[in-house]
Chains A and B, each alone.
Chain A
């Protein structure tokens, strides 16, 4: 989620306009522990003096690399037997639902389409398929991934956290497992999402 973190201010602005149902500031709190591990070399988060100091250390922590919606990566927590933990991880990796149909909407188009992400081997194939599907509607080429400049449209997707992301940043496997739906966004709106090279 913080992958394109170099453009701190742009992302912050985007986050500020994000629609959330929680109270302001509650978003971060849910993700981080209220008492952080004591100066353990392995703990990723910094040590905390006590529960009342939650907020300052949370802000510090958000700046570091973190997986979205991840519990803090403390060694041996939660205390699940490693045999069980390994089994669960193996099960997660193998989970293959039959077909991965997601809705695709395009700005200005009266109806949506559905595509099976499993059918495509990568981003190029996906882009071509989408172009083909919406051929009659588009007034210009749908952008290649990662480059929204100079194109009429950009392909975006909604991930597990409900954020709208530009398609193409993460490895394909990661993308198809986190993509819930897609939206082909009009050029001007798309500009703000483009990651600067």
Chain B
């Protein structure tokens, strides 16, 4: 099978962009396996415990870009104990030893220590991109190490991490010779920043296009930065509060006007409505707008701003926008593709909330909508059916009705028909989160129609094991299934044990599975790690040797070629 010299085959493989395709060609024959592994530049590890880092390094010695994900998704909602695992250090160590050409590292939901960041900074001379999303365990000292030693750093992107603040000096650690920054996002840092150092850094990086500041950066500083970097494409403002009559305010507005390339805005910490007009000049070019941390911007001010954003494709807001506000979005933002509406009490008493009406309006005004995260107080089947008809292009549909298990308020029926309409209409649906009152019927629909579904989140839903079985039997492309507080037990768990090897992971908490069920699964499937997570309670019933009939509170199952992990804390039992 060697019609072509290896270089040619390698060149052909270069056109394969997705990991899946490259994985597939590597299984064709030994020659192709060899060519593929030596030429692979980018590796994505969806579960850090699915494979040992050393093994990745041995197989793909030429990797330049590595992405690794750690904790299960429900860790975002405090359902996974704090020290469950997901450590970055073993990965950084393995690559430091075996793959020093690494240039890009992207980590999500992992524990990253300052020690790992220091090791990272010193081990990879060509290191260019660091992206940390929802990680924890490090401080600004770790960032200082990165700034100091990564000579050709292009991107430092910190998204929603818990970072310990040890002072503002980290930013000053970027040497004067550092001029390569293209993207800098430190919005999640809570501490102060040295304004002068920041302004000088921006000034000497002519290619900077993304800049997301944290709350400590004043509007004054922002103004100076905009003057130095008018080519910005993506801006996260810092604290957006100032006297709107002051000369500084007018300077700010002028500087915004000069930013002709600005496409995306976020931040707006502490924004007071009176400062908003400063951004009016650039609104008509905006494709992305994130106001989800600006509770003071509501009502008429918010609507006025939205009306200017004709090209908006991505909008994140708080639910105080209200159904009326969403109607304005629907009539203005015809290009809208992604909408997220977050709930908050932070808007204050008596502010608007969103219901099914807002979403129906959006669906009829914005037919390009394909990604939704919507927290609301109520939803009806009729609304969902309409939405499904209006927007058949959903790839991500996450609906959270705040009251768990709430039925359709008009008919008092479960929302099975509504969600059924969504999965039937949206043939490309890859991700779905359910809420409200739901019976096994909705899972029948999902199993029948949701052929492309890869990720499903279930909470307080279903009547019996059948529900889960419909999903496992039906959804061929399921990768991640996470379930909480639903009546699925051992029968459902063990219905099709082979299925879990075709999936990345299964999470079940507060369901009806027992220790016996978990043990059976573990015994039948040696290439799965079946983790039972037992947190101690004061009223602890779990003895050293709990009975097999004991209900398991939290279970996490994932396929792996690495065997049981060696860093599990003692409350995690790998069966």
Interface string of A111-139 (1 = CB under 8 A from B): 00000000000000000000000000000
Chain B residues, CB < 8 A from A88? 344-346
Chain B CB within 8 A of A87 CB: yes
Instruction: Report B's interface with A, CB cutoff 8 A.
Output: 74, 76-79, 134, 160-162, 188, 292-293, 295, 342-346, 348-349, 375, 400, 402-407, 433, 437, 457, 459-460, 484-487, 510-512, 537, 539, 551, 553
Q: Are A34 and B349 in contact (CB under 8 A)?
A: no
Contacts of B293 in A (CB 8 A): 87, 91
Smallest CB gap from A42: residue in B? B537
Chain A: interface residue total (CB-CB under 8 A): 29
Inter-chain contact B345/A92, CB cutoff 8 Å: yes
Please, how many angstroms separate the alpha-carbon atoms of A8 and B120 in the complex?
A: 63
Contact of B346 among A39, A75, A91, A160 (CB under 8 A): A91
CB of A78 within 8 A of CB of B343, answer yes
Q: Take A74-B404, A75-B78 as given contacts and tell me if A51 and B342 are in contact as well, using a CB distance cutoff of 8 Å.
A: no
Q: What are 28 A-B pairs with beta-carbon distances under 8 A?
A: A37-B404, A37-B460, A37-B485, A38-B485, A38-B487, A38-B510, A38-B511, A39-B510, A39-B551, A41-B537, A41-B539, A41-B553, A75-B79, A76-B77, A76-B78, A77-B459, A78-B375, A78-B402, A79-B77, A82-B78, A83-B134, A83-B160, A83-B162, A84-B292, A92-B345, A95-B295, A95-B346, A160-B349
A38-B510, A91-B293 given; A79·B487 CB < 8 A: no
- The residue in chain B whose Cβ has the minimal distance to the Cβ of A40 is B510
Chain B nearest Cβ from A90, distance in angstroms: 9
Contacts of B407 in A (CB 8 A): 34, 51
Residues in chain A near residue B344, CB distance under 8 A: 88
- Which residues on the A side are within 8 Å of B78 (C-beta)? 75-76, 82
Q: Which residues of the partner chain B approach A41 to less than 8 Å between Cβ atoms?
A: 537, 539, 553
| Residues on the B chain within 8 Å of A76, using CB | 74, 77-79, 484
Which of A34, A80, A160 sits near B77, CB closer than 8 Å? A80
Does A64 interact with chain B (Cβ within 8 Å)?
A: no
CB atoms of A71 and B342 under 8 A apart: no
Q: In the complex where A78-B343, A82-B77 touch, is A33 in contact with B484 (Cβ < 8 A)?
A: no
* Given A37-B510, A79-B77, A81-B160; A71-B485 close (CB under 8 Å): no
CB pair B459–A33 under 8 Å, yes or no, is no
Q: Which of B162, B403, B512, B537 has the most C-beta atoms of chain A within 10 angstroms of its own C-beta?
A: B403
> Among B79, B375, B404, B457, which residue has its beta carbon within 8 angstroms of that of A35?
B404
B485 and A40 within 8 A (CB): yes
**Cβ A77 vs Cβ B553 within 8 A:** no
Query: How far apart sit A40 and B404, CA to CA, in the bound complex (Å)?
Result: 15
Q: How far is the CA of A74 from the CA of B486 in the complex (A)?
A: 14
CA distance A88 to B343 in the complex (A): 10
Docked CA distance A36–B510 (Å): 12
